Amino acid sequence: MKNGATTAVKREPVLIANRGEIAIRIARTCRALGFPTIAIYSEADRFSDHVKACDQAYWIGEAAPKESYLNVERVIAAAKKGGARFVHPGYGFLSERAHFVEACEKAGLVFVGPTAESMRLMGDKIRARETVDRLGVPRVPGSLGAVANAKEALGFAEKVGFPVLLKAAAGGGGKGMRRVDSAKELESAFEGATRESLGAFGDGALYVEKLILKPHHVEIQVFGDGKGKAIHLGERECSIQRRHQKVWEETPSPLMERFPKTRDAMFEAALKITSHVKYAGAGTLEFIADEEGDFYFLEMNTRLQVEHPVTEWVTGVDLVAWQLLLACGELKWPEIPARNGSAIEVRLYAEDPQNFLPAPGPVGLIEFPSGAFVRSDAAFSRQGEVSVHYDPMIAKVSAWAPDRQAALARLRTALDEVRVERPRKAGGESVGSLKTNLPFLRKLCRHSDVLSGNTATDLIARSPELTEFQNTPPSKEAVLAVALFQMLLDTESQSMNADPSDPWNLAALREGVRT
């Protein structure tokens, strides 16, 4: 990948203020560029793979995030103890906390990301809306700032028309968000969203926004030099979501392929905002686009995005490398990179595929697909534990191909090759109750609307078949084929799916044929 380096020099250490797959991914680029790495870990992550991926590692507290990964003083102390020069926040945790940026600067550390002022300006949803209004960028109708109470929220809702969204001013990721379809629902929704926002961000402020029906969530990857210069690296469509959280991301956007003029206008708007706030490093401007080609500003994420690999696929750019080299003053400012082909990413979660509720616990074995055009960003390589204390994402699986249909085919094959099993006792009996959304993802990439690019944010809601799973017995022919194949291999391996109640359990199939 293109890393934008100018000369090879001795690098100073980077503390990675995160965990799991993103910490491992950052460490990989650090190694490639020669930056020594420092990991931090909570008690729950003492034996995690991200700890092993770094040159040094420091314990920073108990499992609860506020005692560890959100504890600014302990993170800074670990950086100082390890001799760090740079701090890379990844995403989540402290990545969008302006006070953490200031704490790093006070300690003599270089924060790999935007300034505290840029973060406050665009990370706060209300200030961001004020900024885009001044710049003439269209935004979704609604309250400009936070509303004082449910009565005021109702006034705005009646003005713009139901349905509306109540949204947390201090954060994103679907936390503190409620859809409201009528006046009678608003008060209870307001109370629920306020509680959730307080719990997630320590701030219960909410604003009201018109709900655009059948919208597409399209975002623009930007990169700024911190002085007013900025480029974009194309768009990503992230419309397929559950519980207001993304589960599928791709580039280019199927919708924007139909509206190239809208795409160009979104690029222009994104660069106008990025330049105006003198943004430094990788950031993302998020927009809502409807099926008529109109678009509205949604928010800016002042950090690296979970879905950045799809942009890296089509541009050949290592975004983490660009972040690091900009931070140490070595980045040769790039032109807008050419984009080639199509890339799609899905998120593998430890969750019940029927209702998307988290299902944390131990993973006895996980195997990912291999291939020149398939990428797996995982929290652990063979086995590990999905902690109840953190996000239940296990991995991201992505694929690239010259066009979208070929990328879909490659992703389908890759997901069919993913293997996730529960832990086993010494005698081979599986234990635990591991559930993942892998069956859902396999269905999703074969869904007719996905194949056609009809991926508005209501896709999952209007497709109940995606979350219907039954242990339907396979055909007699399939039973014989699988069982005979296993017999010919003369193996007594356990099922490719660790659930013994699964009708495709190979051991059960062999026994059925023998009897």
DSSP 3-state of 245: strand
Among candidates 258, 215, 221, which has minimal Cα distance to 236? 221
**Residue 512 in this model has a pLDDT that exceeds 70:** no
Distances in Å between the Cα of 369 and the Cα atoms of 175, 306, 405, 442 are: 32, 20, 19, 14
For 445-470, how does the pLDDT look when each residue is reduced to its tens digit (9 = 90+)? 999 999 999 999 999 999 999 999 86
Is 303 among the residues known to form the active site? yes
Q: Which residue has the tokens 């109470």?
A: 149
**CA atoms of 308 and 317, how far apart (whole Å):** 10
Percent of the chain with pLDDT over 70: 89
Q: Which residue has the tokens 């430094």?
A: 280
**CA atoms of 351 and 463, how far apart (whole Å):** 18
Q: Higher-confidence residue: 422 or 498?
A: 422
Catalytic one of 97, 263, 303, 422: 303
pTM of the model: 0.84
Give yes or no for a contact between 231 and 223, defined as CB atoms under 8 angstroms apart: yes
pLDDT band at 5 (very low <50, low <70, confident <90, very high): low
Between strands 361-363 and 14-16, the pairing is unpaired
Provide the 10 A C-beta neighbour count for residue 257.
13
Q: What is the DSSP string of 456-497?
A: -TTTTTT-GGGG----PPPPHHHHHHHHHHHHHTT--PPPSS
Distances in Å between the Cα of 201 and the Cα atoms of 16, 125, 205 are: 22, 13, 10
Looking at the domain that runs over 343-468, which CATH code has it been given?
Answer: 3.30.470.20
Give yes or no for a contact between 51 and 76, defined as CB atoms under 8 angstroms apart: no
Q: What is the DSSP string of 215-226?
A: -EEEEEEEEEES
**CA atoms of 346 and 407, how far apart (whole Å):** 12
Find the Cα–Cα–Cα–Cα dihedral 437, 441, 447, 453, rounded to 10°: 120
pLDDT band at 139 (very low <50, low <70, confident <90, very high): very high
Q: Which residues are registered as beta bridge partners of 61? A: 42
| pLDDT score of 500 | 36
Q: Do domains 115-135+213-302 and 343-468 have the same CATH topology?
A: yes
DSSP 3-state of 429: coil
**Residue 473 in this model has a pLDDT that exceeds 70:** no
Is CATH 3.30.1490.20 the right assignment for the domain spanning 141-210? yes
Least confident of 35-44, 339-348, 427-436: 427-436
Maximum CA extent, the chain: 76
Looking at the domain that runs over 115-135+213-302, which CATH code has it been given?
Answer: 3.30.470.20
| pLDDT score of 486 | 47
CB neighbour list of residue 296: distance below 8 Å, 6 or more residues apart: 138, 139, 140, 212, 287, 288, 289
| CATH class of the region 14-113 | alpha beta
CB neighbour list of residue 488: distance below 8 Å, 6 or more residues apart: none
Q: Quick one: average pLDDT of 207-218? A: 91
Where exactly are the structural domains of the chain?
A: 14-113, 115-135+213-302, 141-210, 343-468, 476-514
